[in-house]
Amino acid sequence: MHVMESAMVAPVEDIITEALIDRVVRTFYASVQTDPQLGPIFAARITNWDAHLNRMCAFWSSVLLMSGRYHGQPMQLHQGLPVDARHFDRWLELFAQTARSICPPVAAEQFVSRAERIAESLELGIAASRGGWLRKGERLAPASADSA
């Protein structure tokens, strides 16, 4: 029996490690901090970036490796943010660029597909917290001055 080594691919569970998650998270948030659209939103709320990055590494470890390291409530943390669909789109754009520039393709797609589902969930939750509901295909509108 001959096995083509080039056709062998490690399972994604063997590719995504805590070290890879750490690298993706830190690289991504470095780009967020300098982004004209997202940077000010984060800068107004995050005073301890080391603590935030450690929390985000724990979050992504829990999401991708099912490590159980994260024990927060992301929906509550995001509900009061002055964000709309444009911010989610930019966040996903930067996240996908980061994951695809660092990770092997199969791992990058795991990061990106999870990020897309998380963004959709947060967008729906924020809309609900503002007293509205998004139907299929609808996106989060900017917060009105009285709800921000």
Distance of alpha carbon 46 from the chain centroid: 16
Residue for token digits 């659209």?
A: 37
Q: Which of 83, 147, 143, 145 is nearest to 119 (CA)?
A: 83
Residues making up the annotated binding site for heme are 52
Q: Identify the band that residue 9 occupies on the pLDDT scale cut at 50, 70 and 90.
A: low
Q: Which domains does the chain have, with CATH numbers?
A: 16-129 (1.10.490.10)
Q: Which of 102, 106, 96 is nearest to 9 (CA)?
A: 106
Residue list, annotated binding site: 52
> Global pTM?
0.83
pLDDT tens readout for residues 39-88: 999 999 999 999 999 999 999 999 999 999 999 888 777 877 888 899 99
pLDDT in tens, 84-121: 899 999 999 999 999 999 999 999 999 999 999 999 99
Per-residue pLDDT at 8: 52
